[in-house]
Amino acid sequence: MSQQTIQLEAFNTDLHGARILIHGAFPAGKVPPVMEAIQRLRDPFKKKVLITNTAFSLSRSFPCLYDAVFQARDVQDWQLILTYLTYAPKPSLVVAEEVGVPDALWGKMPRSVTFIHLTTKVPQLSIKPYDAIFFAPIEEIHTSFSEYTYKLLQSIHRSNYTYNEHKEILNELRAAGAGIAWSKMNEPSQGGAIYWYDTVEHSVEDRLTSKQLSEIFAWLSDQFRAT
């Protein structure tokens, strides 16, 4: 790794109030250490909101008891979500899984809302609104996801970030099973900084509620009828 151009440190940044993108296919049961970075003991989230494209109110990556669950299918759904977030007690947390977030949402959403966006697909919308990005650990360097990560980091972090640097970093992180994170939160440079991070096991904060169990059974029943 070229220490003259880039030096990676372990990710340890406060992301409370940040817009966070978690991108790529993570190993089963593994997530970035995002929850540790956004929680404040003296300023806990007053509302937790899940935005999903599934038929039931469960998060695959950050399972907990959410105060509100929305299915985002069209513009009207996003208007309803924005209205809820505007008037909900703050600070609040939003977890959006596998949904496309409209660019227009960012300028209207209060900064007291911490927003986690998880997607395995290459985002088609602007990357600029995000304050931090966690890329899934890359096991194979010569893949489209590795190439996409390189070009994105070159675009948002440093234009002279070279492919050789990228390969050296990935080789070191791959051996440790670690991933790359980029953040501009509290960073002196306009292009932010690159860090490494270890994935953690996701844990269930609360047991499933009767409503959630009912939704799961109803969904399973529909699947059996369709087959």
Statement: residue 218 has pLDDT above 80: no
Q: Name the 3-class secondary structure at 83.
A: helix
Flag whether 148 is in a domain: yes
Flag whether 25 is in a domain: yes
User: How far is residue 64's CA from residue 46's CA, in Å, rounded to a whole number?
Assistant: 14
E-strand stretches of 89-192: 92-97, 113-119, 132-135, 179-183
Tell me the average pLDDT across 1-15. 72
Flag whether 70 is in a domain: yes
**Residue 226 pLDDT:** 65
Residue 225: CB partners within 8 Å, gap ≥ 6? Answer: none
Domain CATH for 38: 3.40.50
Q: What is the mean pLDDT of the chain?
A: 85
User: How far is residue 97's CA from residue 118's CA, in Å, rounded to a whole number?
Assistant: 5
The number of domains in the chain is 1
Q: Which residue has the higher pLDDT, 198 or 126?
A: 198
Flag whether 3 is in a domain: no
Statement: residue 62 has pLDDT above 70: yes
Opening angle at CA 68, ends 30 and 83, nearest 5: 120
User: How far is residue 137's CA from residue 23's CA, in Å, rounded to a whole number?
Assistant: 10
Flag whether 2 is in a domain: no
Percent of the chain with pLDDT over 90: 59
Flag whether 4 is in a domain: no
Which range (19-33, 148-162, 210-224) has the least confidence?
Answer: 210-224
Q: How many Å from the N-terminal Cα to the C-terminal Cα in the chain?
A: 53
Flag whether 64 is in a domain: yes
Domain that holds residue 135: 9-226
Q: What pTM value is reported for the model?
A: 0.84
Residue 144: CB partners within 8 Å, gap ≥ 6? Answer: none
**Residue 33 pLDDT:** 93
- Rg of the chain's alpha carbons, rounded to an integer? 18
Flag whether 1 is in a domain: no
